[in-house]
Amino acid sequence: MSWHATALTLFPEMFPGTLGHSLAGRALREEKWRLDTLQIRDFATDKHRTVDDTPCGGGAGMVMRPDVVDAACTAAQQMSALADGQERPLVYLTPRGRLLDQQVVRELVAGPGVILVCGRYEGLDQRVIEKRGMREISVGDYVLSGGEPAALVLLDACVRLLPGVMGGATSAEEESFSEAGAPLLEYPHYTRPVEWEGRVVPDVLLSGHHAEVARWRRGMAEAATRERRPDLWSRRTPAGAFSH
Ligand code: ADE
């Protein structure tokens, strides 16, 4: 049974979007993972098919109704039980959520899949988030106009870790954020030509000394992490013993 994602959205045409291309798209066609969408508006009950209403307490924007979103969640979970025989976690994409990182991605990939709830307007009524025990996830400290691009980001990060999706088996493991708990940014990459517009590839990368290449890369990764991401650098344990 392949890893299964369902997006609950008012804009199902935004899926698979960028994921229809490249390795994720090929893997989707090869049924290495599965993606479907549910139109939240289909679960509205009035003749105008209303999905939102004004915020209680006043203020700008509109809030998505809990009853409509709840009915869409029920449908997704019923489909899930039939298709997978396993319950998938409900993930609500929101800037109020826990920041997405590689550890969260690995956790989601280890399960049967995800049901992604994409909000528009000011987001969902808090009561349906609580009733459904939704896992709230943010893709960064900025505000998007809807959850759909965030859902695509989350799916991209997950799908590339699925077995058989990335061609070169180890590159997914080597790169930034692969080391659980003590992530480093990646070292810089070079290819041919060896000299380009007066800029040369570092000698060590042409030396054929694998141990020296590995040491150089490690040093560059550490320097980049220290300079660019002091927050990540300070999370490294002293046992890491790289206290330059
Ligand atoms: N919806 C709007 N902004 C978002 C963000 N930064 N992360 C996840 N979902 C969002």
Please report, in angstroms and rounded to a whole number, the separation of the first and last CA atoms in the chain. Answer: 48
User: Which of 10, 93, 153 to mutate for ligand 1's pocket (most ligand atoms within 8 Å of CB)?
Assistant: 93
CB–CB of 4/32 below 8 Å? Answer: no
Please give the mean pLDDT across all residues of the chain: 93
CA of 96 to the centre of ligand 1 (A): 8
As a whole number of angstroms, the distance between CA 5 and CA 64 comes to 22
As a whole number of angstroms, the distance between CA 107 and CA 127 comes to 26
Q: For the structural domain made of 175-240, what CATH number should be given?
A: 1.10.1270.20
Q: Closest Cα to residue 157, out of 23, 6, 38, 26?
A: 23
Annotated binding site: 119, 139-144
pLDDT exceeds 80 at position 173:
no
Q: Which residue has the tokens 């979103």?
A: 69
Q: What is the pTM of this model?
A: 0.92
CA of 159 to the centre of ligand 1 (A): 19
Annotated binding site for S-adenosyl-L-methionine: 119, 139-144
User: Which of 144, 152, 155 to mutate for ligand 1's pocket (most ligand atoms within 8 Å of CB)?
Assistant: 144
How does 106-133 read in b/e, with b if 16+ C-beta sit within 10 Å? Answer: eebbeebbbbbbbbbbebbbeebbeebe
For residue 85 the two structure tokens come to 């025989």
pLDDT exceeds 70 at position 111:
yes
CA of 109 to the centre of ligand 1 (A): 20
CA of 135 to the centre of ligand 1 (A): 13
pLDDT exceeds 60 at position 174:
no
* Region of poorest pLDDT, from 1-10, 34-43, 83-92, 215-224: 83-92
pLDDT tens column, 200-244 = 999 999 999 999 999 999 999 999 999 999 999 999 876 554 444
User: DSSP string of the chain?
Assistant: --EEEEEEES-GGGSSGGGGSHHHHHHHHTTSEEEEEEEGGGG--STT---EEPPTT--SS-EE-HHHHHHHHHHHHHHHHHHHSSPPPEEEEEEEEEEP-HHHHHHHHHSSEEEEEEP-TT-B-HHHHHHTTPEEEESSSS--SSSHHHHHHHHHHHHTTSTTTSSSTTHHHHSTT-SSSS--PPPP---S-SEETTEE--GGGGS--HHHHHHHHHHHHHHHHHHH-HHHHHTS-GGG----
Report the percent of the chain where pLDDT is more than 90. Answer: 84
pLDDT tens column, 40-55 = 999 999 999 999 999 9
User: Which of 8, 10, 129, 143 to mutate for ligand 1's pocket (most ligand atoms within 8 Å of CB)?
Assistant: 143
Query: In the chain, what are the domain boundaries?
Result: 3-159, 175-240
pLDDT exceeds 80 at position 141:
yes
Q: Are strands 90-99 and 135-138 parallel, antiparallel or unpaired?
A: parallel
- 3-159 classified as CATH 3.30.930.10: no
CA of 93 to the centre of ligand 1 (A): 6
From the CB of 9, is ligand 1 less than 6 Å away? no
Q: Closest Cα to residue 74, out of 117, 12, 125?
A: 117
* Region of poorest pLDDT, from 85-89, 113-117, 132-136, 213-217: 85-89
From the CB of 142, is ligand 1 less than 6 Å away? yes
For residue 84, the model assigns a pLDDT of 79
Report the percent of the chain where pLDDT is more than 70. Answer: 91
